[in-house]
């Protein structure tokens, strides 16, 4: 192992900054932090630190009026806190790992661990 190795990077420690507009984050919420998307592993109050999962399959709130297919690219709408199949200005977070009906409130997404740009 390289002497400068730190960790696998499956999760990262994130501080919910005490800045204007910051809100408490609940366990399971999606979080865009700079160019990183992760899912909160615990509740993280403003000013507190917690872990964000960068990989794995997570059931996330989705835009209800969309049908998803297996393998479809999934994006994050930060303003609404929902996953969507619409790219636009939304952040790519992963792919659907199960079809989701229209309407449905939740969808299963395999996070890509890639940087959202």
For Cα atoms 85, 89, 92, give the angle at the middle one, nearest 5 degrees.
Answer: 50
**Whole-prediction pTM value?**
0.92
pLDDT-derived band of residue 117, with 50, 70 and 90 as boundaries? low
The helix or strand, by DSSP H or E, that contains position 12, with its residue range, turns out to be strand 11-15
- Could you report the per-residue pLDDT of 5-58, keeping only the tens digit for each? 999 999 999 999 987 788 999 999 999 998 899 999 999 999 999 999 999 999
CA distance 13 to 41: 10
CA distance 64 to 84: 9
- Could you report the per-residue pLDDT of 62-84, keeping only the tens digit for each? 999 999 999 999 999 999 999 99
Q: Which DSSP string corresponds to 24-53? A: -B-TT-EEEETTEEEEESS-B-TT-EEEEE
């Amino acid at each position: 192992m390289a002497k400068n190795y730190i960790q696998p990077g499956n999760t990262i420690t994130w501080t919910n900054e005490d800045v204007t507009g910051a809100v408490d984050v609940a366990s399971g919420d999606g979080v865009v932090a700079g160019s990183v998307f992760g899912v909160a592993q615990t509740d993280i109050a403003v000013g507190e630190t917690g872990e964000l999962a960068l990989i794995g399959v997570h059931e996330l709130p989705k835009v209800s009026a969309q049908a998803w297919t297996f393998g479809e690219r999934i994006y994050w709408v930060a303003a609404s806190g929902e996953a969507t199949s619409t790219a636009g200005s939304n952040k790519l977070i992963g792919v659907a790992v199960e079809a989701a009906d229209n309407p449905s409130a939740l969808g299963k997404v395999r996070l890509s661990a890639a940087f959202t740009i």
